[in-house]
Amino acid sequence: MAENLLLQALSGLASASSLFLVAAGLTVIFGVTRIVNFAHGSLYMLGAYLAWTLVTALPRGPLGFWGGVLGAALLVGLIGVLVEVLLLRRIYRAPELFQLLATFGVVLIVQDLALLVWGPQDLLGPRAPGLRGSVEILGLRFPLYDLFLIAVGPAVLGLLLLLFHRTRWGTLVRAATQDREMVGALGVNQRLLFTSVFFLGACLAGLGGALQLPRESVNLHMDLAIIVEAFVVVVVGGLGSLVGAFLAALLIGELHAFGILVFPRITLVLVFLVMAVVLVLRPHGLLGRPPEAPPAGAGGAEPPLRPAPPALRRLGAAALAAAVLLPPFADAYALSVLTEMAIFVLFAASLHFIMGPGGMASFGHAAYFGLGAYAAALLAKWAAAPMAAGLLLAPFAAGLFGLLFGWFCVRLSGVYAAMLTLAFAQIAWSVAFQWVEVTGGDNGILGVWPDAWAADPLAYYYLTLAFCLGATLLLRRVLHAPFGYALRAQRDSPLRAEALGVDAFQVRWLAFSLAALAAGIAGGFFAYAKGSVFPTALSIPRSVDALLMVLLGGVRTLSGPIVGAIAFTGLQEQLMRLVELWRLALGAVIVALVLFFPQGLAGAARAAYERRHGPAGA
Amino acid sequence: MSEVMERRRPAAAGTPMLEVRNLEAWYGESHVLHGVNLEVHEGEVVTLLGRNGAGKTTTLRAVMGLVGRRSGSIRFRGQEVINERPDRVARMGIAYCPEERGIFASLDVTENLLLPPVVQEGGLDLDTIYRLFPNLKERARSQGTKLSGGEQQMLAIARILRTGAKLLLLDEPSEGLAPVIVQQIGHTIQELKSRGFTVLLVEQNFRFAQTVADRHYIMEHGRVVDMVRNEDLAASMDRLHEYLGV
């Protein structure tokens, strides 16, 4: 038994090494550029693929193998430079979430490019020459290569610390991590510094991926699998802290290794549970420090919310008339798309409610959408309840969990808050995925059909439209009520708001719960529209969808989420139908939007309107 | 228009080292500078005086390229720099010491001192710097933020003397310091002047300003509204009182 535990611990250390390499790159890049690089997992995946190509193409033997691994790491570094120069360099001043959106566009592009180049099948790499066998530890065999990996982590940590503390470049990086504006004013070329930091970070990710080659097959799911864990490691360790990332990687690696032994049923929850506990106890991670000042030039002051100008009112009325009058002439497919659009308009508006006016980022808004959907579906499955009961329970269930999770999340700010929302969403997802007896696990819950009176797609569409649009307009109304003023005041300056008697925590908490409740309504309607619920309803991609909708439409306008939800749903639907490489196309569209419409679609429309007519509503 | 102005200037003054014309600057939506005009000649110590929010700090930041948007003209040794990035401006030989001092907390004193790249010859060497600021030598291995306020201020000035930059933009070096330290900083500025440095100084402390400066520009509402030579100061006291409310 003791031998088993030791081996398990060693294997945990081995997987911690790769995780550390990726997380180290992520944390270094974030420290200097303040960019949360979603595409870091893609760089890791590219490292593995490129290593496979190089190692199989080069002559066999140690030189071919290690040359291939290092070559892949350097190539990935160059790809990182390409991404930095072509894309990120242009958006360093954009709001944090916008940068996240851009890097997510890169994720989509890389996924399809990898599919094009290497095909959909898993690729198996050769074993490492000289490290093929295994050693005997306490009578049990342990792979030699894993022992080697265990040594790689601390070695890289040591080299990085030397680099950062013993070289001029390292001094510049440490200075820029603290105050990049001052570094520039002292005559240091920041562009070169940022690009070189990105090169190093990308190399580390590439190396992490390349070193996995002898351990596991290379596939197209590596990117999202590692990026979520790397985020967890970086956040648990403390953003920007290398040693923190190392400790957190060990923690997460061991957690995985022992989680399987001790709690095989809740392995997935465990990691996020630990992250949630760490963030609640230490809001800036194990070794992180609270930021000294908000990054300069990030977005600037928010413009005030104004009532819709007449032109927009007319446009809205026309859109509403179309949404009411045209569907009787639509076919079943169009109706289902329209129903989905109505649902996503509310889903996006609920996220925008906390993100825009509330100033809180959420990476896990799908949790409340999915909780609403599951509440409705579970009630239908286990109590055979009528549809109305399910639709009624959905917002209450989502709102209750919003109260519970929100109580923790709204205490934090920025990326940490976003990560905690992600952790709670992942916990909810893991429960839906692993509690098979109740939720059906991956098979989901089927047969969630509307009652007879709403069974006709057209009738169900009108029902959805009425409730989702009504809830969206209510959210909008709240923003123009005193509660909305308080919400925006605490976003702009928590201190000043509190000095005026606004209880910032309570306002944020209530707003968070209200948004969760609204997402729950959308989720309930979604369950009955699809006739089934799967864990994907509360997965990360669903949360990202919501973020995309809001950012695509524009965070700073109230109509943004509405425009964004319609545009995104339509775009994705059409792309998936017409284009084989729809991820590539969607990614390219996102990147183009970030570069050319940094205000979002609605924001760009408003800017164009104001250029012609002067400030709207003035 | 600007050519006419150039011809009108007395030839004896020569080309100014720094010449700012119609400088406007914005932070986001708010328009902060509304057409600043000033010039600084080689070897001069010039102060910007004015009340809070008059635009003194923003003028320095705009020269360095640290504001969101700016327009007008900033010429350094005759060369236009209005469209240059901060690091390029620094490399042309303008050094900046901000009000909040900009000491890097995670770096020690030596690392802070050696951080700015040398941009041209003629900077002070480390020995000279340590002779000017003996405290810094004693604390060479201390972390940047473990220093006292006065030591931080000295470090912030000291590190830009190494680079060879000849024009120093100092933003309120006397702020929040004990009188004896303020005096010491005054001596330092005089010493720098005698070594050929040119200084543009933002000050609230009027008494301190008159001990070090050759000329004073008065700023109000984002404009330079007056200029007083140090030797005319006594005669202009009433005017100054009105501007500054001292």
In a domain, A323, yes or no: no
| Structure confidence by residue, pLDDT tens digits, A374-408 | 999 999 988 888 999 999 999 999 999 999 999 98
Contacts of A171 in chain B (CB under 8 A): 107, 111, 114-115
Contact B29 A186 (CB under 8 A): no
**How close A207 gets to chain B, by Cα (Å)?**
28
Closest chain A residue to B89, measured at CA: A187
Q: How far apart are CA A364 and CA A540, in angstroms?
A: 7
Question: Cβ distance A152 to B79 under 8 Å?
Answer: no
Read off the pLDDT of each residue in A107-112 and give the average, rounded to a whole number: 93
Burial class for A254, CB neighbours closer than 10 Å (0-12, 13-18, 19+): middle
Contact A182 B104 (CB under 8 A): yes
Amino acid letter, A608: A
- pLDDT of amino acid A510: 96
- pLDDT of amino acid A365: 95
| Structure confidence by residue, pLDDT tens digits, A483-526 | 999 999 988 888 888 888 889 899 999 999 999 999 999 999 99
Confidence of residue B9 (pLDDT cuts 50, 70, 90): very low
How many contacts (CB atoms, under 8 Å) link A and B?
Answer: 73
Contact A177 B106 (CB under 8 A): yes
Closest chain B residue to A191, measured at CA: B87
Task: Kindly state whether A172 is in contact with chain B, defined as any CB-CB distance less than 8 angstroms.
Answer: yes
**How close A31 gets to chain B, by Cα (Å)?**
13
Q: What is the phi-psi region of residue B172: left when phi exceeds 0, alpha when psi lies from -120 to 50, beta otherwise?
A: left
Read off the pLDDT of each residue in A572-580 and give the average, rounded to a whole number: 81
Contacts of A188 in chain B (CB under 8 A): 87, 115-117
Q: What ipTM was estimated for this complex? A: 0.86
In a domain, A263, yes or no: no
Q: Write the residue in A178, A184, A186 that is nearest to B85 by C-beta.
A: A184
Confidence of residue B65 (pLDDT cuts 50, 70, 90): very high
Which of A167, A182, A188 should we substitute to test contact with B (largest number of B Cβ atoms within 10 Å)? A182
Q: Could you give the percent of chain A with pLDDT greater than 70?
A: 96
**How close A189 gets to chain B, by Cα (Å)?**
6
In a domain, A295, yes or no: no
**How close A176 gets to chain B, by Cα (Å)?**
9
DSSP B171: E
Q: Could you give the percent of chain B with pLDDT greater than 70?
A: 94
Find the length of chain B.
246
Confidence of residue B13 (pLDDT cuts 50, 70, 90): low
| Structure confidence by residue, pLDDT tens digits, A283-300 | 888 888 776 544 433 344
Pick the more confident residue, A614 or A162. Answer: A162
Boundary residue ending a domain (A256, A278, A294): A256
Is pLDDT at B1 greater than 90 in this prediction?
A: no
Question: Cβ distance A232 to A252 under 8 Å?
Answer: yes
Contact A185 B66 (CB under 8 A): yes
Contacts of A182 in chain B (CB under 8 A): 98, 102, 104
Contacts of A185 in chain B (CB under 8 A): 64, 66, 86-87, 90, 96, 98, 102
CB atoms within 10 A of CB A168: 11
Contact B96 A188 (CB under 8 A): no
Contact A179 B68 (CB under 8 A): no
- pLDDT of amino acid A297: 36
CB atoms within 10 A of CB B198: 23
In this structure, the answer to whether residues A210 and A339 fall within a common structural domain is no
Question: Cβ distance A519 to A527 under 8 Å?
Answer: no
In this structure, the answer to whether residues A229 and A340 fall within a common structural domain is no
- pLDDT of amino acid A325: 87
Contact B68 A297 (CB under 8 A): yes
Is pLDDT at B147 greater than 80 in this prediction?
A: yes
Element holding A205 (H helix, E strand) = helix A190-211
In this structure, the answer to whether residues A252 and A340 fall within a common structural domain is no
Q: How far apart are CA A139 and CA A148, in angstroms?
A: 19
Which of B58, B106, B112, B120 should we substitute to test contact with A (largest number of A Cβ atoms within 10 Å)? B106
In a domain, A171, yes or no: yes
Contacts of A303 in chain B (CB under 8 A): 29
A147 Cβ neighbours under 8 A, 6+ residues apart? A10, A14, A135
Contact B90 A178 (CB under 8 A): no
What are the b/e assignments for A503-532, b being 16+ CB within 10 Å?
Answer: ebeebbbbbbbbbbbbbbbbbbbbbbbbeb
Task: Kindly state whether A72 is in contact with chain B, defined as any CB-CB distance less than 8 angstroms.
Answer: no
Judge: domain B42-65+83-244, CATH 3.40.50.300: yes
Is pLDDT at A302 greater than 70 in this prediction?
A: no
In this structure, the answer to whether residues A246 and A342 fall within a common structural domain is no
| Structure confidence by residue, pLDDT tens digits, B157-190 | 999 999 999 999 999 998 888 898 899 889 999 9
3-state helix, strand, coil in chain A (%, to 5): 75, 0, 20
Contact A181 B86 (CB under 8 A): yes
In a domain, A411, yes or no: yes
- pLDDT of amino acid A301: 58
Contact B104 A300 (CB under 8 A): no
Domain holding A364, by residue range, is 335-586
In a domain, A493, yes or no: yes
- pLDDT of amino acid A586: 84
Tokens of A351: 């996220």
